[in-house]
């Protein structure tokens, strides 16, 4: 297991997206577009940029649009072939040719840890990345956030979580870590708490939706009791690895938008609009 390269990226995508109702009544929240591109496609492109070629998507009921998106639409291709509109499909066609997609369903919504465990059948016994598509990341200066994390993984060969500083009052929205700095921007995690009240937060460093996990996490999740909100939390499972010194938090370079909230979504839209039109 130790020397296996990270090839696969898991996308938990079974959630209901209640914060975006009614938009998410019949459309998966991962398919909401920032400009013209669905959130999930941004995530897949980030994974490809990091050298990953196998996308493992954990879906649920009502998520078929995701599978159709990452597939050829013959009717559409036929209709616009040779017209001035053909270029609109170039980017997604490119994505489809660069990687493979596999799917499994999370039958019950029992939390992010449970969603990740549902993906075990697609991952097997190898290290893998996890992208939460509603955390949209961009690094104008250079490598994507996942590329940066793969570099850290290559050096330390243990689980990696991406973190950023948050205002302490927001600690109850995130997994929050504490640890010891081992290099610039790298912290060996010794404690992590899911969505603590500000008064209980071990620091102001919050986990964002990018992880690299070693496959021993699956057995740990199986043993993890429901935590915050009665859900099986990946943060709680990772704490077990952290106790053995096997989790590193990485302060990434770049920006992250919380597209699970309307404010973050609007911010991301403005940011990408400016980026594309300047």
Sites of contact with ligand G1P (CB under 6 A): 112, 132, 135, 174-175, 194, 206-209, 233, 235, 260
Answer for the pair 189, 243: CB distance below 8 angstroms, yes or no. Answer: no
Supply the minimum distance, in Å, between the C-beta of residue 206 and ligand G1P.
6
Supply the minimum distance, in Å, between the C-beta of residue 234 and ligand G1P.
6
Measured from the CB atom, is 99 or 242 closer to ligand G1P? 242
Alpha helices in the chain (DSSP H): 39-49, 64-69, 74-80, 90-98, 112-118, 120-123, 145-156, 216-223, 234-242, 262-277
Measured from the CB atom, is 18 or 277 closer to ligand G1P? 18
Measured from the CB atom, is 6 or 112 closer to ligand G1P? 112
Measured from the CB atom, is 39 or 99 closer to ligand G1P? 39
| CA–CA distance, 152 with 146 (Å, rounded to integer) | 10
Q: Which residue number places its CB atom closest to ligand G1P?
A: 175
Supply the minimum distance, in Å, between the C-beta of residue 216 and ligand G1P.
19
- The CA–CA distances, whole Å, from 69 to 28, 32, 154 equal 11, 12, 32
Supply the minimum distance, in Å, between the C-beta of residue 200 and ligand G1P.
14
Supply the minimum distance, in Å, between the C-beta of residue 111 and ligand G1P.
8
Phi, psi (deg, nearest 5) at residue 182: -110, -20
Q: Which residues contact 60 (CB under 8 A, 6 or more apart)?
A: 13, 14, 15, 105, 106, 107, 109
């Amino acid at each position: 297991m130790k020397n296996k390269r990270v090839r696969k990226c898991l996308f938990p995508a079974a959630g209901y997206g209640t914060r975006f109702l009614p938009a998410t009544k019949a459309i998966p929240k991962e398919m909401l577009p920032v400009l013209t591109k669905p959130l999930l496609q941004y995530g897949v492109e980030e994974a490809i940029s990091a050298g990953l070629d196998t996308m493992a998507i954990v879906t649920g009921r009502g998520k078929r649009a995701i599978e159709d998106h990452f597939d050829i639409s013959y009717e559409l291709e036929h209709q616009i072939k040779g017209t001035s509109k053909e270029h609109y499909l170039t980017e997604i066609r490119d994505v489809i040719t660069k990687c493979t997609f596999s799917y499994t369903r999370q039958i019950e919504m029992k939390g992010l840890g449970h969603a990740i465990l549902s993906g075990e059948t697609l991952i097997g016994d190898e290290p893998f990345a996890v992208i939460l598509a509603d955390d949209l990341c961009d690094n104008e200066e250079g490598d994507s956030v996942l590329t940066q994390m793969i570099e850290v993984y290559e050096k330390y060969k243990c689980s990696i979580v991406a973190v950023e500083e948050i205002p302490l009052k927001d600690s109850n929205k995130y997994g929050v870590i504490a640890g010891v700095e081992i290099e610039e921007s790298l912290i060996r995690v010794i404690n992590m708490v899911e969505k603590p009240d500000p008064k209980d937060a071990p620091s102001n460093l919050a986990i964002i939706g990018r992880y690299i996990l070693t496959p021993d996490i699956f057995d740990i999740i199986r043993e993890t009791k429901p935590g915050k909100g009665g859900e099986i939390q990946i943060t709680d499972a990772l704490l077990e690895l952290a106790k053995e010194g096997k989790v590193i938090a990485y302060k990434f370079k770049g920006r992250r938008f919380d597209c699970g909230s309307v404010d973050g979504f609007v911010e991301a839209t403005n940011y990408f609009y400016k980026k594309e039109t300047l």
